[in-house]
């Protein structure tokens, strides 16, 4: 595991059992504006604003089993790391949230993830995410 507190270039989390509508409701609390730009099947494309920055986002329901993926294709988010985002989402939803242990770097274990829940935070091995 590589310790990394630098701002991640993008953020991705997986939230257990939420819909894209619930994800959008949460995003409204995190960004100054949130606009759904397209929705097809299980994918919802979003344009969010953080200060003067546009943050493209993608929500995919059941992207990994019961988990909905939220991916922010920008470093200009309210969170420095994926884990910061996971903590904020877990606090709002009170559901398990998972994220990769670090912003991807060569040599990192792709199956090592954080699981953040009401019970706390723990490292897990999550294959096939």
C-beta separation of 59 from 37 below 8 A = no
Token duo for residue 5? 């507190």
Return the axis-axis angle of helices 82-93 and 20-30, rounded to nearest 10°.
Answer: 110
Domain boundaries, the chain: 11-125
Look up the pTM and report it.
Answer: 0.89
Task: Summarize pLDDT for 38-76 with one digit per residue, the tens.
Answer: 999 999 999 999 889 999 999 999 999 999 999 999 999
Instruction: For residues 102 and 113, give the distance between their C-alpha atoms in angstroms, rounded to a whole number.
Output: 8
Question: Do the beta carbons of residue 84 and residue 12 sit within 8 Å?
Answer: no
Of 104, 45, 33, nearest in space to 70 by CA: 45
pLDDT tens digits for range 66-121: 999 999 999 999 999 999 999 999 999 999 999 998 755 555 556 789 999 999 99
């Amino acid at each position: 595991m590589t310790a990394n507190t630098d701002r991640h270039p993008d953020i991705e989390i997986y939230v257990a059992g939420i819909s894209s509508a619930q994800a959008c409701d949460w995003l409204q609390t995190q960004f100054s504006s949130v606009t759904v730009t397209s929705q097809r099947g299980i994918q919802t494309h979003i344009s969010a604003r953080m200060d003067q920055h546009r943050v493209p986002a993608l929500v995919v329901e059941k992207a990994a089993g019961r988990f909905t993926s939220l991916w922010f294709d920008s470093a200009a988010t309210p969170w420095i790391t994926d884990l910061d985002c996971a903590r904020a989402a877990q606090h709002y939803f009170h559901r398990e949230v998972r994220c990769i242990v670090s912003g991807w770097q060569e040599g990192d274990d792709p199956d090592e993830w954080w699981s953040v829940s009401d019970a706390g935070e723990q490292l897990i091995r999550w294959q096939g995410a």
